[in-house]
Amino acid sequence: MIPNQRSLFSIPDDIAYFNCAYTSPLLKTAESEGRQAVTAKGRPWNITPADFFKTIETLRGLFAQIIACTGEDIAIIPAVSYGIALAAKNLPVFQGQEIVVIEDQFPSNIYSWERVAREKKGAIQTVKRPGNHDWTSAVIKGINK
């Protein structure tokens, strides 16, 4: 068990925040880096083309160390909606095929799949929230084999 990490965030003691899937609080260090980035953007004459890649490559390398792979195995995208759209464009979906999604997904994880289903004359299969909270079994049952 890791020790309490609350001190790393700007969360008041009287707040308990759990909706991290919606939007998570930033670490204090991330807030500081964000302020530095905004300040740097205010001085664009100091930004070189190499600056657009240096930070991303460093992040890819650091994350690769955490999950035991190489930086080449890591893709950094600007938003979940972009990643979902990219996946939807590149995964093979055949005419009439069902695309399984789970109930109450954010729109960014639905719109691209709806578009693919329309284009391929397929259907969206929405798996309802199971009463026993066993999403794995519910999703497996929702897959039309």
**Mean pLDDT in consecutive groups of 10 residues from the start of the chain, 145 residues:** 94 91 91 94 94 90 96 91 93 92 90 94 94 94 80
Q: Give the model's pLDDT for residue 52.
A: 83
CB 128 within 8 A of CB 138: yes
Residues 6+ apart with CB under 8 A from 117: 93, 99, 123, 124
Q: Kindly report the pTM of this predicted structure.
A: 0.62
Q: Give the model's pLDDT for residue 53.
A: 87
Angle at 10 between CA 9 and CA 11, to 5 degrees: 95
Q: Give the model's pLDDT for residue 80.
A: 87
Distance of CA 128 to the CA centre of its chain: 22
Residue 29 has which token pair?
Answer: 């260090």
